[in-house]
Structure 1
């Protein structure tokens, strides 16, 4: 049974397209049944020398009219059935893409991009083929087989029909067995294709790293292995068809052999006429082609089934981060934040990153976070925007637990600039305005100036309409970070989170940006995560993390006087600056 259950709403909505399409298709099949009868009449009249030129012209006109009518109805069923399948492809791709965007960040840590791309391309194409051309071939196979056998039995000697159809049960047995093998091998092909897609995407995205480390040959060899596996899987499938189709042709030829041998005897013995024999072989040709197409139907349906199973597996996934049933929108956010005994660990690790972590951030204040790599700095930011949910404890904004706030409302009120500074393959204007409901060029330029990017943009030939390239590859690391800052600023949120957002700019540029940001961040809650002490020295409060715990807290000056880990960071960075200057 093909698992197309998820498509039930689509079928209900588009049922008339399929019903009318199948109706036009059946009319085409019915018209095809007239051709053997015309040939019967012509042959019988020729045999008895009763065919006149007028009758011959009339028969030719019948064939012409049938051909034109078949062409018209064939156009109609293509528009209805194939058109509906194209609409299905469009809607299913939208459904799958929309669902992917609802899934949690952890899902993308477990699944590769190439595999997901294969679902959105090859798998959806296979489903469309099953529910477009597949339905056409299935309808033909069922109706023509029944209709042709009825016509053969009614218009010709039944013994000839029974003998000619003897090989047909063998066809059904072989097609059933081969169908299971095709399903299994096509699924393997799709998985191998996903591996090739993923390897390609990964290498093209990381091309600069590959070149920098002179790993072209190693990556080419790695790709060859993936591609070779795809070749082998395709050859396995091709071998199956290499046996399947010749076997169908052989069994079909047995039917024709029987028909010619026994039908010839019946003509010689004048049990049936020559016209009956010609009509019978024409019917048999229709039957054989129809039965042979069952092999293609099984192939296309098994491919569709394998693909819809893969798509189903994604659609069954649910986001770990969802709105609770009583979640509400935040209307006016002041920005006070409380972490209350928060414990959290990532699913791929047995250890907790944060352990009973507590912190209060007053509304409108600025907090700096510093610590060694892996101390939990970024985790704090990820939990605040609910990319992950805490194991124990709670996080509140304005005394509202963030689990009781709708995700869209929560994230709309937070301007999050993460470490990656991901940019889209579009213009600078569209990248900056990405998260804003609306914006104008004046506001766009204002936030770019605050982020220290405006001057750089004006030096580009197309200025704000400059295409940044895939992942912002045409920009420097510092320019990407500053563009990401501008993108957060234009949202005008109540809370800002800067997660190592100044690491790619020099200290002088950083100081200018921070100076401009102070006005922008006035009366807004600001969290700055950094590795440089100079980034945090103007924050109202700074916390020092170690193994997910706060080991020092205070402002810049008070932390220096404690001469703890913060003081060590400061001294090392002063030494680095001296070394760089010399």
Structure 2
């Protein structure tokens, strides 16, 4: 039960809902305890020949009234307890999602989407069951068992003790099976996570699957994951299928004992026929709590296992956060300095960047060129603090980047990544992603600068056009330009374009760059590109090779140096001449 401590703030806030709900459960049980007494009175008076039609009608109406009261109180405890458990589900799912948003990007490199989805759905549902029906039936069983046992003892002690002979065997079954059920449920959750992950991955990559004609192979892989999930569930069902009938068998033994020994007592006159009827009815009330013990234990076992899995995520600490010495009053202007920057993703891997020393003045444009894997994207990711650089290696306006609030840092950087991810919403909302309220004049202006305005106006619904998942309904060039517009509308102090013009033609690229140069005059810009034509007008150009700066200068200076930059430029010129020939 220690795993449920995470929910303590919610429980404290809603304690009266739970308390009132349990009170309604107690009222429901109390009313249920009255009916057997009425049946005893009716039976005894009937046996004595004193039951009149008026009395029978009175008792009938009374039993109907009690049934109506039970129905009302059952509605109330469902409203208070089950309703509150739904609010808890809402609370926990929000808490879980909000925590995931705080975690560093590196966390998602090591945790599968399908597994996280299973936590957010299956696991949270299991916790809700424990904190809703589990609590109700646990109290219901405890209250009914104690009160019914007291009443049974008041009718006949010997008959009660004999009828309870099967109880020790029930306790052994519950204890033994509970541990096995817990382990098998963990296997079920793990299998469900793998199945969810497989489905999510396949749907996300469906175009790749089809282009490589791998549908049958993917179906086979899904079938394998589905089989594993079914086997885990069947493994649980088998033990659960044995558990419930065994409890019912031992519970039924109590009724067999009553019919034999209780009937003998009636015949001997030690108890009345009304006592026998009441005893039998009370034992029937007590049977449900006994049978429910296994069900309640199963619910709490599942809830506990799921809560542990959720807690494992909630206890994850973000690798990147605001340090105690963060300067919350800092205002970004745009000067960037790299001082002896060396970075590796982990202690066991070689450095991705080595001895980077570089200064970009406010309002200047830096261009970065280099082969694939040379560390270009890593450099700008460190500037965004998507990964943590060491202190004293990156500065903005003379302040260590680790002392700048994350929100301030990222709000003042407009970033267009290589992976132009768009959300499944309208084009307008994708461009306006950084803001809550739509400002159509600004959205249209950003679209015009990014040279995507005319494309958008060609769509029937224009800016209200819905974008498919990850932007699949748009061309690669359109996605890139919408991503550029999304960065521009922020009006950032620092603009980073990471190879974001690769999917547009040279003519469109030139138009975009012409518009971008107008706004880049007032901000610090970093352009990463494989096309020399995209960056030749930059104030400063660096060439990265295996994480090190091997060349730097202006376009003309680098051409004269006759190094890698000159080689790449001549190669691209040759390719362009061949294409135009």
| Counterpart Cα distance in 2 of 1:348 and 1:30 | 66
The separation in 2 between residues aligned to 1:190 and 1:348, in whole angstroms, is 33
1:482-561 aligned at under 5 Å gives the runs 482-561=481-560
SS of equivalent to 1:498: strand
SS of alignment partner, residue 111 of structure 1:
coil
Structure 1: distance between partners of 2:366 and 2:11 = 55
The residue number in structure 2 matching 1:60 is 60
2:10 pairs with 1:10:
yes
249-258 or 389-398, which deviates more: 389-398
| 8 Å Cα contact 1:345/1:391 also seen in 2 | no
Q: Secondary structure at the match of 2:67?
A: helix
**2:332–2:409 Cα contact (<8 Å) kept:** no
2:29 is the counterpart of 1:29 = yes
Report SS of the residue matched to 1:4.
helix
Alignment: residue pair count: 581
1:333 is displaced (CA, Å) by 2.4
Q: Partners of 2:487 and 2:437 in 1: how far apart?
A: 13
* Secondary structure in structure 1 of the residue aligned to 2:355: strand
| In 2: Cα distance, 1:390 partner to 1:506 partner | 36
Deviation at residue 580 of structure 1 after TM alignment:
2.3
Partner of 1:83: 83
Q: Distance in 2 between matches of 1:424 and 1:394?
A: 34
Aligned to 2:126: 126
Tell me, in whole angstroms, the C-alpha distance in 2 between the residues paired with 1:539 and 1:368: 6
**1:523, distance to aligned residue in structure 2 (A):** 2.0
Maintained 8 Å contact 1:530/1:536: yes
Deviation of 1:579 (Å): 2.5
Instruction: Supply the distance in 1 between the matched residues of 2:319 and 2:394 (Cα, whole angstroms).
Output: 17
Runs of 4 or more off by more than 6 Å in structure 1? none
Contact 2:368 2:526 in 1 (8 A): yes
Mapped to 1, the partners of 2:139 and 2:111 lie a distance apart of 38
Other structure's SS at 2:349 match? coil
- Could you say which residue in structure 1 is the equivalent of 2:446? 447
Q: Tell me what 1:143 maps to.
A: 143
| 1:71 equivalent in structure 2 | 71
Q: State how 1:275-424 maps to structure 2 within 5 Å.
A: 275-329=274-328, 332-347=331-346, 350-391=349-390, 393-424=392-423
Measured in 2, the distance between the counterparts of 1:139 and 1:367 equals 68
- Distance in 2, Cα, partners of 1:244 & 1:391: 57
Answer yes or no: is the 8 Å Cα contact 1:423–1:470 preserved in 2: yes
- 1:343–1:393: 8 Å Cα contact kept in structure 2? no
Write out aligned runs for 1:558-569 (5 A): 558-569=557-568
**1:52-106 Cα deviation digits (max 9, x unpaired):** 1011011101101101111111111111101110110011100000000000000
Looking at structure 2, the residues matched to 146 and 425 of structure 1 have their Cα atoms a distance apart, in angstroms, of 56
**Partner residue, 1:570:** 569
CA distance in 2, matches of 1:225, 1:2: 36
Matched, 1:96 2:96: yes
Aligned to 2:428: 429
The Cα offsets for residues 212-252 of structure 1, whole Å up to 9 and x where unpaired, read as 01010101101111110000000011001111011101111
5 Å-filtered alignment, 1:455-466, equals: 455-466=454-465
Per-residue CA distance 1:433-471 (angstroms, 9 max, x = gap): 001365521111111010010000000010000001111
Residues 423 and 431 of structure 1 are in contact (CA less than 8 Å); yes or no, is this contact kept in structure 2? yes
Between stretches 428-437 and 345-354, larger displacement belongs to 345-354
Take 2:551 and 2:231, find their aligned partners in 1: how far apart are those partners?
Answer: 60
Q: CA 1:2/1:234 → structure 2, altered by over 3 Å: closer, same or farther? A: farther
- 1:329 CA drift (Å): 3.2
Q: Deviations over 1:283-303 (max 9, x none)?
A: 111111111011110111111
Output the CA distance in 2 between the equivalents of 1:265 and 1:569.
104
CA contact (8 A) 1:342 1:392 kept: no
Alignment partners' CA distance in 2, 1:545 and 1:100? 34
Q: Which runs of 5+ in 1 are unaligned?
A: none
2:330–2:404 Cα contact (<8 Å) kept: no
CA contact (8 A) 1:417 1:485 kept: yes
Q: Which moved more, 1:246-255 or 1:376-385?
A: 246-255
**2:182 match:** 183
Secondary structure at the aligned position of 2:3 is classed as coil
Q: Is the 8 A contact 1:196 1:223 kept in 2?
A: yes
Secondary structure in 2 matching 1:338: strand
- Work out the CA distance in 2 between the residues paired with 1:192 and 1:424: 29
Separation in 2, partners of 1:576, 1:299: 68
> How big is the shift at 1:491?
0.3
Alpha-carbon distance in 2 for matches of 1:485, 1:429: 13
Partner of 1:229: 228
The answer (yes or no) to whether the contact 1:356–1:393 under 8 Å persists in 2 is no
Report the Cα distance in structure 2 between the residues aligned to 1:442 and 1:288, rounded to whole angstroms.
70
- Rounded to whole Å, the distance in 1 between the matches of 2:371 and 2:463 is 37
Q: What is the rounded CA distance, in whole Å, between the counterparts of 2:532 and 2:58 in structure 1?
A: 98
Deviation at 1:327, TM superposition (A): 1.1
Q: CA deviation at 1:356?
A: 2.1
Q: TM-score scaled by structure 1?
A: 0.98
Q: Normalising to structure 2: TM-score of the pair?
A: 0.98
Instruction: Report SS of the residue matched to 2:341.
Output: strand
Partner in structure 2 of residue 105 of structure 1: 105
| C-alpha contact (below 8 Å) 2:391/2:402 kept by paired residues | no
C-alpha separation in 2, matches of 1:391 and 1:324 = 13
Unaligned runs of 5+ in 2: none
Give the 3-state SS of the residue equivalent to 2:479 in structure 1.
helix
Q: Using the alignment, how far apart are the partners of 1:4 and 1:507 within structure 2?
A: 59
